Amino acid sequence: MDLLRIYDKRYESRLILGTSRYPSPAIMQKAIIASGAQLVTVSLRRQQSNLAAAQSYVALINAAQVDVLPNTAGCESEQEAITLARMSREIFATDLIKLEIIGDNYTLQPDMEKTLSCVVKLIKEGFKVLPYCTDDLVACKKLIDAGCEVIMPWGSPIGSGKGLNNPYQLAVLRQRLPEATIVVDAGLGKPSHATGAMELGCDAVLLNTAVAQAHSPELMAEAFCHAVKAGRYGYKAGAIQAQEFATPSTATIGMPFRVNE
């Protein structure tokens, strides 16, 4: 069976869904179901000052009966991210952590130097780290050398909905890092963006705003569910090479001579 590999876990679904910015928790729950996601990402950053008071929020996420991938969204320093990672591990009883250390406040581009340094520290503490990263091949290689089995390069800036800014670079990552699980994280807006990422051979996509802020989050979640599958099947099936000329798909019986206009 064609399963997504996230460290020691295996998932049928290749869509990881975020849990922020839905109109209501009820709509979020419906969207999770419609998306078919088996892994959802959750941020505790704004709840950390009083965890006891966030119990109902944690219960809500746990009620969705999917695995939780805690994240360090919005952190700008290693120490912040490490504190949040430790806290999230305790709350959600998982070693998985999506590491996000922001280096630029406007584009929310990750700081790769701090991310790499933090990955080393978190792995020492036994975390299974999924770093949010740029699509820089060398930076990604260093993350993998440091022990990451999964990398999460951006499609475009978080929440921008611009899709894949540099498909060529994602294809390079796939080609040069065949063993890594590549999850395109951030910037997807339309289902076709997800299909595109999957067609390039990425292993999964992570998205949030595209579903949460759609006019109908539930329907959009379903759309992405199909889009991710379509892209994956397309990749596995082996697409034909694009040609510079037309090739008739039906045999040219009845046309005794080739017409050269």
Query: Which residues of this protein are in contact with another protein, per CB under 8 A?
Result: 23-27, 29, 46-47, 49-50, 52-54, 56-57, 60, 159, 213, 215
Catalytic residue status for 190: no
Nearest to 92 by CA among 58, 127, 129, 131: 58
C-alpha pair distances (Å), 31 with each of 44, 58, 140, 214: 20, 17, 31, 11
Which residue number, 66 or 170, has a Cβ lying nearer to another protein?
66
Which residue number, 191 or 231, has a Cβ lying nearer to another protein?
191
Burial of 254 (0-12, 13-18, 19+ CB in 10 A): exposed
Q: How far is the CB of 86 from another protein (least distance, A)?
A: 19
Which residue number, 169 or 213, has a Cβ lying nearer to another protein?
213
Which residue number, 52 or 253, has a Cβ lying nearer to another protein?
52
C-alpha pair distances (Å), 209 with each of 212, 215, 237: 5, 11, 30
In Å, how far from its chain's centre is CA 20? 15
Q: How far is the CB of 172 from another protein (least distance, A)?
A: 29
Which residue number, 147 or 157, has a Cβ lying nearer to another protein?
157
Give one DSSP letter per residue of 37-104, joined into a string: -SEEEEE-GGGGGGSGGGHHHHHHHHTT-SEEEEE-TTB-SHHHHHHHHHHHHHHHT-SEEEE-BEEE
Which tokens sit at 102? 């922001």
Q: How far is the CB of 214 from another protein (least distance, A)?
A: 10
Taken in order 105, 110, 116, 121, the sign of the CA dihedral is: positive
Number of C-beta neighbours around residue 145 at 10 A: 9
Which tokens sit at 166? 């540099």
Which tokens sit at 73? 């969204």
Which tokens sit at 108? 């929310």
Catalytic residue among 9, 30, 98, 190: 98
Residues with catalytic roles: 98
